[in-house]
Structure 1
Amino acid sequence: MLPQLTAEQVHAALPWPVLAAALEAAFMAPPVAPVRTAHALSPSDTLLFMPAWNDRAIGLKLVTVIPSAPRHGGHTVDASYLLLDRFTGAPRALMDGEALTVRRTAAASALAARALAVPQPQSLLVVGTGRLAPWMLRAYRALLPSLTRLQLWGRDAATTARLAQSLLDEGVPVSPAPSLPDAVASSQIVCCVTTATAPVVHGDWVRAGTHLDLVGGFTPGMREVDDAAVARARIVVDSLDSALREAGDLVQPLERGVITRASLVGDLGMVLRGEVIARRSDRDITLFKSVGHALEDLAAATVVFDQSIPAAP
C-alpha cells in the first residue's frame, strides 16, 4: 500500500537545518525541473503541475486553486506531492503538499538571505499575515540566529496582533509593527508574503544595505514592491525561466524599461556556486524573488521519505 504522509509527519521530518542543507545541495546541483504548467479548470479555478526529477527520484506536485472550495468543506489552495522511484517509475509515497510547500518556501528564503543579506543581520520585518507568514518567521529565526528584532506587519491590526501573540507563545520573539514605512526603514531584511496586486513596500522607504525577500507574488499581475525598490536592487531569483514569466515584481518593470534583463544578477544556484556576486558591499540593496521551484519540493520530499519510510532490508 502506498504510504501517505500527513502534514504533521512532513513537518516532523524536516528540521530547519536539515532542510536548508538539502535545498542548498539542490540549488548547487539542480535536478531537471521544467517550468510549472497551469490549466484553467474554469474561469476561477486552476490546476498546477510542478514536476522535477534527478537520478534517484521523480516528484510531482499537484496544486488546485479553487476559490469556492471552502463552501464545500475544502481549502482555496490544496496540494499533494507524489514521489516515484526513478529506476522503476513506481510510486513510493504520497505527501501533504501544503506542509511541504510552506516549509521549503520559508527555508529557501532564509537560505537566500544567508547568501544575500549583510553578515549577521539583526532585524527582520515580515509583511503579511497569511498562511506563509508564521513559517517565514520560524525559518528565519532558526536559520539566521543573529536576528534579534523581529517585526510583523499586516493591514489588519487585530489579525497582526493575534498572529504575533501566537508566535510569542511558541517562543518566536516577534512584535507587531505599528508603522510600515518606519519598520521597513529600520529593518535589514524585509520579507513580503502578501497577495498584493499593487506595491505594498516602496523603494524610498528602503535603506542602503537592506535585503528584500519577495515571496507572495506568483503571477504577472501581482506586485509587492514598487519600481523604485526594484530599480535600486541587485536581483536574484530562484528560477530565471519562471521568474521572467510569472513574477509581476520583475515582469512589469522589465516591460516598461525600468530595469533590463541585465539587472538580474542570476539565480540562487549561481550565487551559491560562486559564479556571480550579488552583494558587493554592505550598502548594496539585494532582492530575492521566489515564485516557487519544483527542485525545492523534490529536495524536501526526498528528505521526508528518507526520514519517514523504513529502508528495505
Structure 2
Amino acid sequence: MTAIFAIDADALEVDPLWLVGRLREGHRQGIGTVERLLLEEPGAANSLLTWVAWQPGAALGAKLATVFPGNEARAAGPNIRSIVVLFDGQNGRPQAVITGESFTRAKTAADSALGADLLARLDATALAVLGAGAQAETQIRYLLAVRPSIRRVAIWNRTAEKAQALVASLRFPGVEIGAIEDAEAAVRQADIVCCVTASRDPVLHGAWLKPGAHVDLVGSFTPEMREADDAAMRRARLFVDTRRFAIGHCGEFTQAIAAGAIAAADVAAELAELCAGAPGRRSADEITLFKNAGGGHLDLMIAQALYDLAAGGA
C-alpha cells in the first residue's frame, strides 16, 4: 500500500503570495461539490465544523475543525484545531493527513488576501484590524503580501492588553504597527478594515468607513454571529467567497436580510466569479465588502497546495 503523507502544516514554510496564487488558480479550475455540517454544544459556544469537497477527477477531501472560543483565555491551547484528509480524485486513495493550526489560519488568510487583491485599492496604505486572536497575525501577513503599499497597521481588541501583546510580537520592515483603544478612530483612517472576532454584536459600524475602504469580514460563521452592522452592509458593494455559505449561515447577511437592510441579490459576485473576470471595484471611492465565509472547496485547494509543497512538487 502506498504510504499516506503525514503533513504538519506548522512545519512548512509557505509563501503567502504563492498560496494566494494557488487559491486563485483553484477557483479558475472549478469548485466542484461542497457540503457543510455544524454541530454546536448545547449551552456553550463550542462547535464542530465539518467541511467536505469533491473536485471530480482531481481530488476530494474533508476537514474537521473544533472551535472552542475560551481556550486561549484559560491557557488551554488554540481556539481552533483541525485535521484534514486528502484523497486522490482518480482512485479514491488517501493521499495525506494534514494537521497543524496554521492550516486553517493560512486557508482563511489566503481567502481574505485573494479577496483584497481583487477588490482593495492598489494604493492602500493603512490597515485596521479589529480583533487580536490567533488569526490576526496571519491575516496581517497575507494582506501585507498582496498590498505591499500598506505602511500603517492599527490593531484594536476589546481587551487592550491582547492588542498590545500582538503588536509587540509583530515585525514587518517599513510598516508601523500600533495598538489602538478606539475602534472608530482606527477604522476612519483605514483603507482596509479586517475583522477577526467571534462577536455576536457588530464591532464595525458603517458610518465609520471612509470612501474607498475595503472591508474583510472573517469571524462569523453562524446566523447569531456578526461583525458589521446594517449600515456597513448597505454602504458597501458586497462580495463573498461563496454565496451559499455567506448568505445562508453568516449573521452579517442573515440578520441584515431579515431586517430588510439588504437582499441576497445585492451580492455582486463570489470569489470564483471574480477570479473569472467579474467586475469588482468600480471606482476609487467605492466601499467594497468581502465576507470570508469559508468552504470545503477552499480547504481542498489549500490541502492540494500543501501536499504538493510537502511532496516537493510545488
Instruction: Give the alignment's TM-score, normalised by structure 1.
Output: 0.91
What secondary structure sits across from 2:145 in the alignment? helix
What secondary structure sits across from 1:78 in the alignment? strand
Rounded to whole Å, the distance in 2 between the matches of 1:165 and 1:73 is 22
Rounded to whole Å, the distance in 1 between the matches of 2:287 and 2:76 is 44
Aligned CA distance change for structure 1 residues 174 and 73 (closer, same or farther; 3 Å): closer
Q: Which stretch shows the higher mean deviation, 51-60 or 244-253? A: 51-60
1:95 corresponds in structure 2 to 98
Matches within 5 A, 1:1-313: 1-9=3-11, 11-12=12-13, 14-40=14-40, 44=44, 45-54=46-55, 55-66=57-68, 76-96=79-99, 98-168=101-171, 173-275=176-278, 277-309=279-311
Q: Report the AA paired with residue 91 of structure 1.
A: P
Displacement of 1:262 in angstroms is 2.2
Rounded to whole Å, the distance in 2 between the matches of 1:239 and 1:215 is 13
Aligned CA distance change for structure 1 residues 154 and 83 (closer, same or farther; 3 Å): same
Rounded to whole Å, the distance in 2 between the matches of 1:68 and 1:225 is 22
Q: Report the AA paired with residue 49 of structure 1.
A: T
What secondary structure sits across from 1:195 in the alignment? coil
Rounded to whole Å, the distance in 2 between the matches of 1:6 and 1:118 is 35
Q: Report the AA paired with residue 285 of structure 2.
A: R
User: How many equivalent residue pairs?
Assistant: 308
Displacement of 1:108 in angstroms is 1.5
Aligned-residue RMSD, C-alpha:
2.3
Q: Which stretch shows the higher mean deviation, 191-200 or 25-34? A: 25-34
What secondary structure sits across from 2:85 in the alignment? strand
Aligned CA distance change for structure 1 residues 156 and 171 (closer, same or farther; 3 Å): farther
What secondary structure sits across from 1:24 in the alignment? helix
Rounded to whole Å, the distance in 2 between the matches of 1:158 and 1:290 is 27
Q: Deviations over 1:238-274 (max 9, x none)?
A: 0001111111011101011111122111201212212
Rounded to whole Å, the distance in 1 between the matches of 2:103 and 2:205 is 31
- Identical residues among aligned pairs (%): 35
Aligned CA distance change for structure 1 residues 33 and 144 (closer, same or farther; 3 Å): farther
Aligned CA distance change for structure 1 residues 73 and 260 (closer, same or farther; 3 Å): closer
Rounded to whole Å, the distance in 2 between the matches of 1:287 and 1:134 is 21
Q: Report the AA paired with residue 26 of structure 1.
A: G
Rounded to whole Å, the distance in 2 between the matches of 1:158 and 1:40 is 30
Is the CA contact (8 Å cut-off) linking 1:167 and 1:173 kept in structure 2? no
Is the CA contact (8 Å cut-off) linking 2:9 and 2:306 kept in structure 1? no
Aligned CA distance change for structure 1 residues 290 and 173 (closer, same or farther; 3 Å): same
Rounded to whole Å, the distance in 2 between the matches of 1:99 and 1:41 is 24
Is the CA contact (8 Å cut-off) linking 2:157 and 2:181 kept in structure 1? no
Is the CA contact (8 Å cut-off) linking 2:130 and 2:195 kept in structure 1? yes
Aligned CA distance change for structure 1 residues 67 and 117 (closer, same or farther; 3 Å): closer
Rounded to whole Å, the distance in 1 between the matches of 2:75 and 2:172 is 32
Is the CA contact (8 Å cut-off) linking 2:236 and 2:287 kept in structure 1? yes
Q: Which stretch shows the higher mean deviation, 225-234 or 90-99? A: 90-99
Rounded to whole Å, the distance in 1 between the matches of 2:306 and 2:110 is 15
Q: Deviations over 1:145-178 (max 9, x none)?
A: 1111111111122211111010138986421124
Task: Give structure 2 stretches of 5+ with no counterpart.
Answer: none
What secondary structure sits across from 2:170 in the alignment? helix
Is the CA contact (8 Å cut-off) linking 1:6 and 1:95 kept in structure 2? yes
Rounded to whole Å, the distance in 1 between the matches of 2:41 and 2:117 is 39
Aligned CA distance change for structure 1 residues 68 and 185 (closer, same or farther; 3 Å): closer
Instruction: Give the alignment's TM-score, normalised by structure 2.
Output: 0.91
Aligned CA distance change for structure 1 residues 120 and 177 (closer, same or farther; 3 Å): same
